[in-house]
């Protein structure tokens, strides 16, 4: 079981992060149109999986916008942002921020926590219990994990350049 911090306070996570070069665990989430999507819906593409607590926080909002600006224009790459937000809130956020690329998908894990539990980012205690810690995973076209970043401080941003650089190498 890993731990991260939130404003310096320790936060325990459930499960284990998947290892580099291992097969990515399957997960599902609810899209903005309330349809269930699975990892297999992105077959044949390089995938940047972005786990965040909520798009309704400044760091998560900024992170989603930065991935939209930097990665959503890359052909053959899909960025999937997974959070605990309801699909309606995710749709409102994307509309307000002008995020409308088919290469950036938001998925809600409000019905289940298959992403955060399978990827070891599920917050097990404290005020954010049940949400995902901030993490980025890059998967190749065959769903092999090629990059893993668990951001040690939930209130901090990930290393965009490293994640996007890895995705570019996989094209």
Mean of the per-residue pLDDT values for the chain?
97
- pLDDT 10s digits, 61-101: 999 999 999 998 899 999 999 999 999 999 999 999 999 99
CATH architecture of the domain with range 3-169: 3-Layer(aba) Sandwich (3.40)
94 is catalytic: no
pTM for the structure as a whole? 0.98
Query: Residue ranges per domain, the chain?
Result: 3-169
Under 8 Å between Cβ of 52 and 65: no
* Res. 145: pLDDT tops 80: yes
- Active-site residue (options: 52, 60, 94, 118): 60
């Amino acid at each position: 079981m890993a731990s991260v911090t939130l404003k310096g306070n320790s936060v325990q996570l459930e499960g284990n992060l998947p290892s580099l070069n291992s097969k990515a665990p399957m997960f599902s989430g609810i899209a903005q149109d309330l349809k269930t999507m699975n990892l297999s819906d992105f077959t044949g593409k390089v995938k940047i999986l972005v786990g965040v607590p909520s798009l309704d926080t400044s760091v998560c909002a900024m992170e989603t916008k930065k991935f939209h600006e930097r990665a959503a224009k890359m052909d053959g790459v899909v960025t999937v942002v997974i959070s605990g937000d309801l699909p309606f809130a995710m749709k409102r956020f994307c509309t307000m921020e002008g995020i409308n690329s088919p290469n950036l998908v938001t998925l809600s894990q409000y019905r289940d926590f298959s992403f955060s539990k399978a990827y070891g980012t599920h917050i097990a205690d404290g005020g954010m219990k049940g949400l995902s810690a901030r993490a980025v995973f890059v998967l190749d076209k065959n769903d092999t994990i090629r990059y893993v970043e668990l951001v040690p401080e939930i209130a901090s941003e990930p290393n965009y350049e490293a994640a996007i650089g890895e995705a570019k190498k996989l094209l």
